[in-house]
Amino acid sequence: MSEFQQLMQGERPVVLDLFAEWCGPCKAMRPILQELKHRVGDKAVVLKVDVDRNPAIARTYGVQALPTLLILKQGQVVWRRTGVVDAGQLHQALQPFL
């Protein structure tokens, strides 16, 4: 099992940001995700995946627009949004899974 798969299947929830370097809204998510990571610390994994470098992951999660944000708990997608989401919304969506 790859390190990515281990993270996805782990006990801690995973906030997965599926992005591309050329995507303007994706760039706006960088400081938002940093703020979220600061808020939740080690209670959750915050992970960015470049869909251009990892097309299989993009296919696995059916990414059709960027950025796509997912929250996974033990491998299951429990929340999904497309577009820029502010840190407060992300934190609130993550709370039930911490």
Q: Please give the domain boundaries of the chain with CATH numbers for all domains.
A: 3-97 (3.40.30.10)
Q: Which tokens belong to 64?
A: 């059709």
The C-alpha atoms of residue 90 and residue 87 are separated, in whole angstroms, by 5
Global confidence as pTM: 0.95
**pLDDT at residue 97 is higher than 90:** yes
Annotated active-site residue in 23, 47, 49, 57 = 23
What residues are paired with 45 via a beta bridge? 14
55 is catalytic: no
26 is catalytic: yes
The C-alpha atoms of residue 74 and residue 72 are separated, in whole angstroms, by 6
Annotated active-site residue in 8, 16, 26, 40 = 26
The C-alpha atoms of residue 66 and residue 24 are separated, in whole angstroms, by 9
57, 62, 66, 72 alpha-carbon torsion, rounded to 10°: -70
- Per-residue pLDDT band for 43 (boundaries 50, 70, 90) equals very high
- Per-residue pLDDT band for 29 (boundaries 50, 70, 90) equals very high
The C-alpha atoms of residue 35 and residue 39 are separated, in whole angstroms, by 6
